[in-house]
Amino acid sequence: MKTLLGTGNVHLALLVCRLWLGAMMLYHGSLKLFGGMERFLETVTSKLHLPAALGWLAAGAEFMGGALVAIGLLTRPAAIGIACTMAVAAFGAHAASPWAQKEFALSYFVFALALIIAGAGQFSVDALITAKSSDVEPSERVG
């Protein structure tokens, strides 16, 4: 128990951050993709003056990026997609909104930024892949 709750357990903290951000992005992305896409695309095209394709990319970044972040697979690229989407949400869609409406998007942005900087941690699929590839001799590696 001392190890689990001891100071300096960065990998556990990264797991908690990944699971929270991943779950929230999956939730918000699923709301868009499975029933709210028309309304979302209306906001993207009329309020932000962006192509509808970027709306689809944003919803995909939330849904698929959330799933990838939660399991810790391709964490940094997925977190980049989430961070970009949340930056547009905070500074574009909610630019004129009160702080309370920007706060969640900015919080998600900061979580994603932390994962971009730190990576997924040892409790992730990324770590499993890295560990397996480091067991292979350099001359045997593919690519």
Query: 141 by DSSP, 3-state: which?
Result: coil
CA 108, CA 94: separation in Å to the nearest integer? 14
Q: What is the pLDDT of residues 54-106, one digit of tens each?
A: 999 999 999 999 999 999 999 999 999 999 999 999 999 998 889 988 999 99
Which pLDDT band, with edges at 50, 70 and 90, does 2 fall under? Answer: low
- Specify whether the CB–CB gap between 64 and 85 falls below 8 A: no
The separation between the first and the last C-alpha atoms of the chain, rounded to the nearest angstrom, is 41
Q: What is the pLDDT of residues 4-25, one digit of tens each?
A: 666 678 999 999 999 999 999 9
CA 84, CA 61: separation in Å to the nearest integer? 9
Which pLDDT band, with edges at 50, 70 and 90, does 139 fall under? Answer: very low
In this prediction, residue 132 carries a pLDDT of 82
